[in-house]
Amino acid sequence: MILTRDDTFRVVFNLRTPVNATQFNVGTGVFVARNGNEPFLVTATHVARTCTNATQLVLSDQAGNATGLRLADFNGELAWQHHPVADISVLQVIPNTTLAPHLDGRFLDYDHFHLDRTPVSRDFELTSVGFPNGFGAQGMFSPLTYRSYASSTFLTMNRADTNTLCDFFMLENPSIGGYSGCPVFDLGYMVVGAMTTTKEKTVCYGIMHGTVSDTTGGKLAAVTPSHYLRDLLG
């Protein structure tokens, strides 16, 4: 299956956890189905760890409006599985009648994730889909997309949230807050003028970790490779 950029809104969601009356911790996640019928939520660990019983999961209704659901309705115990090394976590969805009307056609099959420990080509156009600063998750549901290219193979460096070593790959363009946890796709097609080239399917190569910067103002995006999902979902 190939997702177009306009279709990607179906498989992503926004997580909003209130800090006080006017502030929220925000992040992005992706709906994933293992073996076609085992649903999970996938996001960055540093996003998952801020979630509480007050967290809302925001998705689109059939009219394109942002619709907030209680994250606790997806898994009452909020029993996240956190990777021991990487900034990636999964939450098994426990289906129920409250969720059923909202979840049809949401889940991206697990076989769309690149699980081999091989880096993405720097020639592949990559698309990140998420909610920077929470934009696109109120009123009309409209996650933002941005395109970039890998600027590295795998690099070992400290995670921003734990200061522990992990493998990442870098994107040429930086991320901003709220994109954390979002999928980084090779959508499987490219439009150049009147010509469209296609591949076999859309592939997710990673989950957004965050921005790496220095005192000169230079910035890159750090992405957690999707092969780490194999340790959590097999």
Tell whether 158 and 68 lie within a shared domain: no
Tell whether 93 and 166 lie within a shared domain: no
Closest CA to 144 of 113, 179, 173: 179
Q: Are 231 and 167 in contact, with CB atoms under 8 Å apart?
A: no
The residue behind tokens 């056609």 is: 105
Residue type, 95: P
Tell whether 67 and 36 lie within a shared domain: yes
Tell whether 116 and 146 lie within a shared domain: yes
Read off the pLDDT of residues 112-128 as tens digits, 9 standing for 90 and up.
999 999 999 999 999 99
Residue 1 lies in a domain: no
Residue 80 DSSP code: P
| CATH number of 132's domain | 2.40.10.10
Helix (H) or strand (E) holding 66: strand 66-70
47 pLDDT band, cuts 50/70/90, is: very high
- Residue 165 CB neighbour total at 10 angstroms: 10
Say which residues have a Cβ less than 8 Å from residue 133's Cβ, sequence separation at least 6: 26, 176, 177, 178
Name the pTM for this structure: 0.95
Q: Which range marks the domain in which residue 58 is found?
A: 8-111
Tell whether 48 and 119 lie within a shared domain: no
Rounded distance, CA 138 to CA 155, Å? 36
Q: 219 pLDDT exceeds 80?
A: yes
pLDDT-wise least confident of 37-41, 132-136, 180-184, 206-210? 132-136
What is the chain's mean pLDDT, rounded? Answer: 95
Tell whether 136 and 209 lie within a shared domain: yes
Number of folded domains that form the chain: 2
The residue behind tokens 């076609």 is: 36
Closest CA to 43 of 68, 17, 65: 17
Confidence (pLDDT) at 175: 83
Tell whether 132 and 216 lie within a shared domain: yes
80 pLDDT band, cuts 50/70/90, is: very high
Over residues 55-64, the mean pLDDT reads 94
Closest CA to 42 of 33, 53, 54: 33
Q: Which of 81, 111, 141 is the last residue of a domain?
A: 111
Confidence (pLDDT) at 22: 86
Residue 2 lies in a domain: no
Read off the pLDDT of residues 122-174 as tens digits, 9 standing for 90 and up.
999 999 999 998 999 999 999 999 999 999 999 999 999 999 999 999 999 88
Q: Are 208 and 126 in contact, with CB atoms under 8 Å apart?
A: no
